[in-house]
């Protein structure tokens, strides 16, 4: 039986193929290249597109030559039809009549054949049939359940990232109770930008925000919007926002948002237009919804530097949060979290593991434990032991992109540690009111080797003494380098500090009128810039402050050494750590 059906079917197939082949060979053609076609679309010259199914070409009719059908190579991309429709081109689908007839015959005979086969040779046991049916409906309902309510993710599932977590707390409250904020006239950020290296948990954080606020989560990647065709990206943005707006409160997540800001010049004719249209659509949508509606747009990027300025302006992604690589303590927390469901043997020491995984991202740590679990299972072992982890270590490192891990030498680490310890110590000694939220030697995405995050006490004015102390704190990184490594060994790591210090000194002398010698007269109001006397004064003052700072560190050298040693060990310290060291 089976054989007969197969033979009949193949006869029809072969006949169909021959007929449609003859049809295409016979046709006379006007050719048009694909780029010419794209250009014609841009100039609104195209009226119709006729798409034969499964062909390598399609036909185009131009508005000014309605009697000629041009044959154009078919790009066969996913959104081609959407592209045509967006440009107001009427789209027709055509198979030729003979091949259509052939198709109907084919379909009828296939259906007939299947029906026939299932009646004759198919399973005739009603019990098994019913069981199968049940199985199918079970699978179906399982799928539905999965897509409808993916498990809610909470902030508890994000380990480490303490600063970032505290920075999103009020945003979550706002999504929950927008009215509470509106009633006191508070305008919450519409957009939140998470930036940091890949795998640090930006997506996870976005999901957790939606989960904590208990609102739907709509996600897309910036690269989904970057299309060959003008208008497709913009229309996708609109439909994404429309979907979100229907559920009133929502979190919209756009990963790789830099793709919308920057586009590769693959398609020369349309790249700029496309980029601008998509970006504009995003900005328009973001300003479109009501301020206190409870919709939050979260963007994520690995590369803050390439991001379009327009995205960062107020009312857009105006709250920016760095999600950095985890330090030792955070790595321990991430490892513990992911080890919860994994039976570890007694010889596994998570503290030790956290220590030896410098510059691992959260995703790499998760991956490490997973690979170790696979190793254990491969050996039919019930617990994960040290060897499994060691083996996994190399898999993860070899599989990971060759990141910055290699270029950070012990010497660089030590220089960074002294430099940051210098800033931290100067802050503690000179500005005891400041809250040091974090000192770290984990490199930041902004290019710094390490950084100090200190929050000044909230006051309206800065006193002369505070201003001078601020300048000294900025100079303290370089001062520590010189004090420890010698004058010939100072590094370029201080360039940013020096710039900031200089502009503060200029303001001190020329804007705030605080230098007794230069007096109240402000040279800055003159358009030409600073005169020689003023420049010399600034330089003199900077050098004097620098000397004072270096002496200060010298007098407190033992504290500097202690902070540095702790930094080298733990990679980052908080206010409490510093206070304890200096107590
Ligand atoms: P990103 O969006 O920054 O590239 P993801 O959010 O996609 O990173 O992280 C990938 C996975 O790595 C997460 O699903 C999670 O399993 C793990 N992970 C990353 N960071 C953390 C973290 N801070 N705490 C717990 N797990 C993390
Ligand atoms: Zn510095």
Which residue lies with its CA nearest to atom 4 of ligand 1? 199
**Within 13 A of 24's CA, how many CA atoms are on the CB side?**
17
pLDDT band with cut points at 50, 70 and 90 for residue 222: confident
Distance, in Å, from the CA atom of 452 to the CA atom of 119, rounded to the nearest integer, reads 76
* Residue position matching structure tokens 């370029």: 492
- Using only the alpha carbons of the chain, give its radius of gyration: 33
Distance from CA of residue 43 to its chain's centroid?
Answer: 36
Instruction: Give the bridge partners for 572, in sequence order.
Output: 440
Edge-to-edge strands of the sheet including 451-455?
451-455, 435-440, 572-573
303 and 426 co-located in one domain:
no
* Per-residue pLDDT tens over the stretch 431-471: 988 888 788 888 766 556 777 777 777 677 889 999 999 99
**Of 65 and 122, more confident:** 65
In a domain, 122, yes or no: no
pLDDT band with cut points at 50, 70 and 90 for residue 49: confident
Distance, in Å, from the CA atom of 237 to the CA atom of 297, rounded to the nearest integer, reads 12
Last residue of a domain, one of 398, 420, 452: 398
Give distance in angstroms: CA of 562 to centre of ligand 2: 18
Mapped onto helix, strand or coil, the DSSP state of residue 435 is: strand
Mean pLDDT of 532-549: 94
What pLDDT, on the 0 to 100 scale, is given for residue 93?
76
pTM over 0.85: no
In a domain, 60, yes or no: yes
In a domain, 45, yes or no: yes
In a domain, 534, yes or no: yes
Least confident of 182-196, 463-477, 496-510: 182-196
Distance, in Å, from the CA atom of 563 to the CA atom of 558, rounded to the nearest integer, reads 9
| Domain coverage including residue 452 | 410-582
- State phi, psi for 295 to the nearest 5 degrees: -110, 130
pLDDT band with cut points at 50, 70 and 90 for residue 574: confident
238 and 353 co-located in one domain:
no
Residue 98 pLDDT > 60, yes or no? no
Give distance in angstroms: CA of 150 to centre of ligand 1: 17
Nearest one of 74, 4, 1 to 37, comparing CA atoms: 74
Query: Which atom of ligand 1 is nearest the CA belonging to 326?
Result: 23
85 and 182 co-located in one domain:
no
Confirm whether 569 is a catalytic residue. no
Distance, in Å, from the CA atom of 400 to the CA atom of 415, rounded to the nearest integer, reads 27
In a domain, 404, yes or no: no
511 and 568 co-located in one domain:
yes
Q: Which two tokens stand for residue 535?
A: 């420049």
Burial class (CB in 10 A: 0-12, 13-18, 19+), 509: buried
pLDDT band with cut points at 50, 70 and 90 for residue 380: very high
Per-position DSSP letters for 13-48, written without gaps between them: HHHHHHHHHHHHHH---EE--HHHHHHHHHTT-EEE
Distance, in Å, from the CA atom of 424 to the CA atom of 430, rounded to the nearest integer, reads 10
Annotate 386-401 with b (16+ C-beta within 10 A) or e (fewer).
Answer: bbbbeebbeebeeebe
Whether 161 lines ligand 1, by a CB cut-off of 6 Å, is: yes
Mean pLDDT of 42-71: 83
Give distance in angstroms: CA of 449 to centre of ligand 2: 9
In a domain, 133, yes or no: no
Considering Cα of 75, then 79, then 85, then 87, what sign does the dihedral take?
negative
**Of 34 and 323, more confident:** 323
- What ligand is nearest to the CA atom of residue 165? 1
Distance, in Å, from the CA atom of 449 to the CA atom of 86, rounded to the nearest integer, reads 48
In a domain, 123, yes or no: no
Considering Cα of 279, then 282, then 288, then 292, what sign does the dihedral take?
negative
pLDDT band with cut points at 50, 70 and 90 for residue 268: very low
43 and 26 co-located in one domain:
yes
Query: Which atom of ligand 1 is nearest the CA belonging to 206?
Result: 6
Find the CATH number of the domain harbouring 292.
3.40.50.300
164 and 308 co-located in one domain:
yes
468 and 502 co-located in one domain:
yes
**Of 327 and 267, more confident:** 327
- What ligand is nearest to the CA atom of residue 444? 2
Find the CATH number of the domain harbouring 71.
3.30.720.210
Distance, in Å, from the CA atom of 320 to the CA atom of 135, rounded to the nearest integer, reads 49
182 and 246 co-located in one domain:
yes
Last residue of a domain, one of 373, 398, 423: 398
Q: How far apart are the first and last CA of the chain?
A: 92
Q: Which two tokens stand for residue 439?
A: 């000192």
Mean pLDDT of 496-520: 91
* Per-residue pLDDT tens over the stretch 112-156: 555 555 554 444 444 444 444 444 444 333 333 333 456 789 999
Helices (H) and strands (E) in the chain, counts: 22, 13
Mean of pLDDT over the chain:
81
417 and 498 co-located in one domain:
yes
Mean pLDDT of 250-267: 75
Task: Give the pairing type, strands 57-62 and 46-51.
Answer: antiparallel
Instruction: Give the bridge partners for 322, in sequence order.
Output: 195
Find the CATH number of the domain harbouring 367.
1.10.8.60
Residue 339 pLDDT > 90, yes or no? yes
Least confident of 23-27, 173-177, 269-273, 556-560: 23-27
179 and 259 co-located in one domain:
yes
**Distance (Å) of CA 238 to CA 82, 95, 281, 392, 426:** 14, 33, 7, 44, 51
* Per-residue pLDDT tens over the stretch 194-214: 999 889 999 999 999 999 999
- What ligand is nearest to the CA atom of residue 477? 2
Q: What is the dihedral of CA 394, 395, 401, 403, to 10 degrees?
A: -20
364 and 513 co-located in one domain:
no
Whether 159 lines ligand 1, by a CB cut-off of 6 Å, is: yes
Whether 366 lines ligand 1, by a CB cut-off of 6 Å, is: yes
Q: Is 69:60 a contact under the CB 8 Å cutoff?
A: yes
State percent of the chain over pLDDT 70: 79
In a domain, 150, yes or no: no
* Per-residue pLDDT tens over the stretch 402-432: 455 555 788 888 999 999 999 999 999 999 8
252 and 181 co-located in one domain:
yes
What pLDDT, on the 0 to 100 scale, is given for residue 95?
57
Give the total number of structural domains in the chain: 4
Last residue of a domain, one of 322, 339, 366: 322
Least confident of 176-185, 377-386, 473-482: 176-185
Which residue lies with its CA nearest to atom 18 of ligand 1? 362
Helix (H) or strand (E) segment spanning residue 420: helix 410-430
Q: Which two tokens stand for residue 217?
A: 């989560």
What pLDDT, on the 0 to 100 scale, is given for residue 397?
73
Find the CATH number of the domain harbouring 486.
1.20.58.760
């Amino acid at each position: 039986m089976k054989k007969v059906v197969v033979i009949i079917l193949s006869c029809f197939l072969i006949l169909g193929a021959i007929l449609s082949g003859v049809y295409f060979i016979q046709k006379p053609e006007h050719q048009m290249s694909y780029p010419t076609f794209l250009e014609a679309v841009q100039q609104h010259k195209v009226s119709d597109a006729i798409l034969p199914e499964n062909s390598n070409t399609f036909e185009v009719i131009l508005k000014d030559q309605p009697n000629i059908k041009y044959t154009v190579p078919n790009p066969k991309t996913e959104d081609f039809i959407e592209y045509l429709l967006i440009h107001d081109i009427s789209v027709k689908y055509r198979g030729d009549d003979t091949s259509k007839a052939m198709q109907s015959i084919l379909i009828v005979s296939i259906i007939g054949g299947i029906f026939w086969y299932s009646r004759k040779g198919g399973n005739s046991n009603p019990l098994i049939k019913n069981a199968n049916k049940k199985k199918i409906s079970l699978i179906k309902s399982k799928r539905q359940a999965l897509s409808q309510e993916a498990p809610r993710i909470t902030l508890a599932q994000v380990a480490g990232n303490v600063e970032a977590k505290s920075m999103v707390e009020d945003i979550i409250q706002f999504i929950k109770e927008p009215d509470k904020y509106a009633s006191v006239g508070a305008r919450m950020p519409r957009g939140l930008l998470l930036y940091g290296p890949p795998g640090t948990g930006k997506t996870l954080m976005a999901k957790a925000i939606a989960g904590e606020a208990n609102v739907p989560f709509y996600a897309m990647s910036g690269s989904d919007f970057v299309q060959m065709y003008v208008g497709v990206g913009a229309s996708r943005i609109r439909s994404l926002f429309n979907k979100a707006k229907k559920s009133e409160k929502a979190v919209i997540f756009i990963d790789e948002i830099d793709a919308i800001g920057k586009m590769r010049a693959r398609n020369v004719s349309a790249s700029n237009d496309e980029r601008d249209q998509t970006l504009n659509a995003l900005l328009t949508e973001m300003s479109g919804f009501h301020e206190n509606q409870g919709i939050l747009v979260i963007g994520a990027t690995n590369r803050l530097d390439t991001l379009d300025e327009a995205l960062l302006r107020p009312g857009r992604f105006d709250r920016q949060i760095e999600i950095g690589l985890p330090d030792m303590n955070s790595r321990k927390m991430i490892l513990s979290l992911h080890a919860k469901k994994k039976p570890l043997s007694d010889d596994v020491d998570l503290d030790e593991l956290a220590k030896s995984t410098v510059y691992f991202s959260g995703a790499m740590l998760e991956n490490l434990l997973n690979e170790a679990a696979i190793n254990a299972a491969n050996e039919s072992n019930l617990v994960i032991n040290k060897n499994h982890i060691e083996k996994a270590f190399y898999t993860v490192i070899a599989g990971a992109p060759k990141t910055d891990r290699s270029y950070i030498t012990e010497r660089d680490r030590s220089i960074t540690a002294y430099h940051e310890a210098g800033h931290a110590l100067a802050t503690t000694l000179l500005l005891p009111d400041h809250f040091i939220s974090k000192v770290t030697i984990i490199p930041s995405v902004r290019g710094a080797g390490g950084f100090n995050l200190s929050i000044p006490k909230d006051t309206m004015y800065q006193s002369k003494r505070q201003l001078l102390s601020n300048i000294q704190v900025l100079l303290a990184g370089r001062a520590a380098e010189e004090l420890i490594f010698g004058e010939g060994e100072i590094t370029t790591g201080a360039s940013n500090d020096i710039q900031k210090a200089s502009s503060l000194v200029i303001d001190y002398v020329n804007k705030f009128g605080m230098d007794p010698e230069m007096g109240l007269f402000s040279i800055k109001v003159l358009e030409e810039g600073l005169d020689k006397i003023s420049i010399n004064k600034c330089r003199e003052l900077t050098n004097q402050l620098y000397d004072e700072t270096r002496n200060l560190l010298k007098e407190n050298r033992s504290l500097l050494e202690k902070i540095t040693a702790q930094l080298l060990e733990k990679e980052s310290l908080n206010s409490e750590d510093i206070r304890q060291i200096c107590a």
